[in-house]
Homo-oligomer: A and B are copies of this chain.
């Protein structure tokens, strides 16, 4: 949300939903400027704010937007009750800044709904099971809160309002011919989100898939339908390709000439996991001198920390040297239909080759092919692949999918 005008607009939308006779639970984020200001203040008083206190601070953001929204709804003649993550029963683990939801005990919410109130819940936050401390869920936490509550309450749908009107076959800023998808399966959405489609966060889609929650991604600025993310069914269209996603937020770490023996990869990636560094693609090639090169992608911001960690580990395991390249991009092709259609990967590589784009890494799943290319090539790569598979407006027979 942007400011109090925006809050009043949200209240109007909530009123419409509530007047239709629906029990409405609204999950809010902090207002745009609030979080930035709080983070800045934290850095003014501390070079390294402790996680517990940073979470306590940041959760003030949703507290402000949720109570203001309750007031704005009240001003429209309805009653509303706002609840913090803790009050709403969002029970998490104790990893500050990146907590995971362990359980939802929404007793106060069902009670308030039963009393005819609109319920407003602070997204992004919870309370740790053991220490009863306030936690934040990290990136995309509000979406996850919404999906988790929808599951716990047995809601028929979880609507996620965003500043775009759905999920597209490619980022429309890169590919003007990109089309909005009417529906997409949880699995495809998960791959798209994991590959850079920022419209939904991976964790929220994962939660929705695991708990069978339908998500309707739609625009805050219009009343028209957006994209439905649903359980894959027989009646759902299964285009071979749903869309092309890209991600320029990662860097590539290469560990050269690691002795090719058991336990080496485990040692490296355990160190990353312990440091809470999320590694994405991992590729290993065995060389002919008894050593191997291991490459992986991870958030660009984590690069320096990852290098530092590896300095210690790589001398232990006897790696030759480690480099971090922050000028890469990942381009991914996603489609549930590709598992039954051979040759999709070959066609994708051909399209890239014809566009003069070099491939640096390849990683695949049953419904996804991802490649790492130079960051400067990302526009050309996405456009070439999108066009090659006929995902654009003129030739939208094969499918429809991704990315804002």
Residues of A that sit less than 8 Å from B by CB: 4, 7-8, 11, 38, 41-42, 44-50, 52-54, 56-57, 59-60, 63-64, 66-72, 74-75, 79-82, 87, 108, 132
The smallest C-beta distance from A83 to any residue of chain B, in angstroms, reads 9
A60-B60, A75-B47, A132-B87 as given contacts; A4 in contact with B68, CB under 8 Å: no
Q: How far is the CB of A69 from chain B (nearest CB, A)?
A: 8
A8 to B47: give the CA distance in the assembly, Å: 12
Tell me how many chains of this kind the complex includes: 2
Distance of A39 from chain B, by nearest CB (Å): 11
Query: Which of B8, B45, B70, B72 sits near A56, CB closer than 8 Å?
Result: B70
Q: Which residue of B lies closest to A76 (CB)?
A: B46
Q: Report the bound CA distance from A137 to B80 in whole Å.
A: 22
Q: Which chain B positions have C-beta within 8 A of A41? A: 4, 64, 68
- B53 A4 Cβ-Cβ under 8 A: no
- CB neighbours (8 Å) of A57 from chain B are 63-64, 67-68, 71
B80 contacts A45, C-beta separation under 8 Å: no
Is the CB–CB distance between B67 and A46 below 8 Å? no
Residue of B nearest to A47 (CB): B75
Nearest CB in chain B to that of A49: its residue: B71
Report Cα–Cα, A47/B48, bound state, in Å. 41
Contact status of A45 and B7, CB under 8 A, knowing A70-B56, A81-B52: yes
Smallest CB-CB separation from A50: which chain B residue? B74
B45 touches A4 (CB 8 A): yes
Q: Give chain B residues whose Cβ lies under 8 Å from the Cβ of A53.
A: 67-68, 70-71, 74, 80, 82
Most chain B beta carbons < 10 A, residue from A7, A63, A66: A63
Contacts of A82 in B (CB 8 A): 53, 56
Cβ contacts under 8 Å, A60 to chain B: 60, 63-64, 67
Nearest residue (CB) in B for A80 is B53
Specify which chain B residues have a CB less than 8 angstroms from the CB of A50 in the assembled complex: 70-71, 74, 79
Q: How far is the CB of A271 from chain B (nearest CB, A)?
A: 26
**Complex Cα spacing A56 to B28, Å:** 14
Which chain B positions have C-beta within 8 A of A68? 41-42, 45, 53, 57
B45 close to A72 (CB less than 8 A):
yes
Contact present for B72 and A46 (CB under 8 Å): yes
